[in-house]
Amino acid sequence: MKVCVVGGGGREHALAHVLARTSDVVRARTDPSGTGLSGIDADLYVIGPEQPLVDGLADRLRSEGRLVFGPGADGARLEGSKVWMKQVLHDAGVPTACHGAFDRAEPAVRFLRSLAGPYVVKTDGLAAGKGVLVTESVEEAEDDVRAKLAGTSFGDAGRTVVIEEGLRGPELSVLAVCDGQRALPLAPARDHKRLGEGDTGPNTGGMGAFSPVAEAGPQLVEEVMERAVEPTLAALGRLGVDYRGVLYAGLMLTAEGPKILEYNVRFGDPEAQAVLPRYVGDLAAFLAEAAAGHLTSEPAFADDACVTVVLATAGYPTSPRAGDRISGVEEAEAVEGVTVFRAGVERGPDGDLVTAGGRVLDVTALGVDVDEARRRAYRAVAHISFPGMQYRGDIAAGAVAPVMPGIPEEAEGS
Ligand code: AMP
């Protein structure tokens, strides 16, 4: 089978890497004006990023008779509008944070002040994972509401804001592959959204991820499927949406049970990098079944673990710097079990790799367990450098036994 992976980031590199085990893979970037896909003739198109899905790329390809993994614009609205997503959740009876949606500051501020905190302010529209503020300070939340509504911080994506009660608990990502009728879960993952160690600093697109997650056994995954994913797919069906692609449930495991924080309409980035390398079998055939509306295979995952550590540029997430020369990638990839997915890189004039995006590289390692995968990933990270490189030294740290006093960690983050 010939598979075309659309999108140029680390998630798409991971997809291409795993699909290439069983199929011929070509990669295509999307451009704002067109699809960038003319001339590519593939048996299956897998669309990586959310923006082209929201813009209707899957619909355009399907109208040409092509087999596509990824929802049409109708289903992608689940990610393109948080207000609409909340409405669908409400109609489907799916547990989620209570919320209000506002396009004017006064009622928004009044609603904020009625909440107990922590306070959560989100842009309605797409903001590359960075449009969410979670804070204990009502003043900070109010300032954020005003900046978003004024269009100064996130442009039109913030002209409507969603304000939510802050939930507490560990997070979990469950990615389900859907064929319009059925949804089958992939192995759960946990990502790290904040820029700084100890979950501090601003939200980012994601600074690292790992899979499996010890407390997310089959029973919890079944609960998430029964209480959230399946009712959502059914609600979409009632709205006439034939949803074929990934339905990614971002969850908070609260004291009252799992609650949905958000849905994404594609593989997570960086969750895909931590989940897909563990896939056993023919991923291309599995995604093709979903794309054709007939899922029959069951996804299977190896018992080993995978950890991915994101290396980001100076200035990420607000003002990433481009053009910094990267060294040590080959040495990193020589570490056992390690693959370095290219997220935001290009070739400089002398042929060297240079930074070309906020998140630059995803240093990904397989191991017998999370501890081994983590050690391998950080051993590889230690080989790579570029000016201003930022990463977290605590990716997956909570998932392994604490380090014994006096025994230093192998590598520390910046
Ligand atoms: P989202 O893009 O909606 O998943 O939000 C990004 C991140 O913000 C999530 O991964 C959580 O860490 C945090 N977050 C979002 N909504 C809430 C909420 N209601 N309560 C607490 N944290 C939240």
CA of 340 to the centre of ligand 1 (A): 28
Nearest to 211 by CA among 266, 253, 271: 271
Ligand 1 neighbourhood includes 376 CB (under 6 angstroms) = no
Cis peptide before 52 (omega within 30 of 0): no
Tokens, residue 119: 């306070």
Ligand 1 neighbourhood includes 56 CB (under 6 angstroms) = no
Which of 78, 120, 264, when mutated, tests ligand 1's pocket best, judged by the most ligand atoms within 8 Å of its CB? 120
Query: What's the pLDDT band for 413 if we cut at 50, 70, 90?
Result: very low
Beta strands at 194-196 and 200-203: parallel, antiparallel or unpaired: antiparallel
Q: Which residue's C-alpha comes closest to atom 18 of ligand 1? A: 166
- Answer whether residue 39 shows pLDDT above 50: yes
Which atom of ligand 1 is nearest the CA belonging to 122?
3
Q: Which residue's C-alpha comes closest to atom 13 of ligand 1? A: 134
CB atoms within 10 A of CB 136: 10
Element (H, E) at 388: none
Ligand 1 neighbourhood includes 59 CB (under 6 angstroms) = no
- Answer whether residue 403 shows pLDDT above 70: no
* pLDDT single digits (tens) 141-171: 999 998 888 877 776 766 789 899 999 999 9
CA of 166 to the centre of ligand 1 (A): 8
Rounded Cα–Cα distance for residues 404 and 410 (Å):
13
Element (H, E) at 8: none
Nearest to 273 by CA among 312, 319, 305: 305
Residue 111 dihedral angles phi and psi, to the nearest 5°: -65, -45
Per-residue model confidence (pLDDT) at position 34: 55
Per-residue model confidence (pLDDT) at position 31: 64
* pLDDT single digits (tens) 230-273: 999 999 999 999 999 999 999 999 999 999 999 999 999 999 99
- Answer whether residue 131 shows pLDDT above 90: no
Query: What's the pLDDT band for 406 if we cut at 50, 70, 90?
Result: very low
Which one-letter DSSP state was computed for residue 361?
E
Question: Which residues make Cβ contacts (< 8 Å) with residue 278, sequence separation at least 6?
Answer: 187, 211, 212, 301, 302, 304, 305, 306, 366
Nearest to 241 by CA among 26, 70, 3: 70
Average pLDDT over the chain, rounded to an integer = 92
CB atoms within 10 A of CB 10: 29
Per-residue model confidence (pLDDT) at position 166: 93
Per-residue model confidence (pLDDT) at position 120: 92
Rounded Cα–Cα distance for residues 366 and 346 (Å):
26
Question: Which residues make Cβ contacts (< 8 Å) with residue 107, sequence separation at least 6?
Answer: 100
CB atoms within 10 A of CB 110: 11
Percentage of the chain with pLDDT > 90? 78
- Answer whether residue 288 shows pLDDT above 80: yes
Per-residue model confidence (pLDDT) at position 408: 46
Ligand 1 neighbourhood includes 164 CB (under 6 angstroms) = yes
Which one-letter DSSP state was computed for residue 320?
P
CA of 273 to the centre of ligand 1 (A): 21
Question: Which residues make Cβ contacts (< 8 Å) with residue 335, sequence separation at least 6?
Answer: 365, 376, 379, 380, 383
CA of 193 to the centre of ligand 1 (A): 9
Per-residue model confidence (pLDDT) at position 182: 97
Residue 380 dihedral angles phi and psi, to the nearest 5°: -70, -40
**CB distance 30 to 36 below 8 Å:** yes
Per-residue model confidence (pLDDT) at position 412: 43
**CB distance 340 to 359 below 8 Å:** no
At position 310, the amino acid (one-letter code) is V
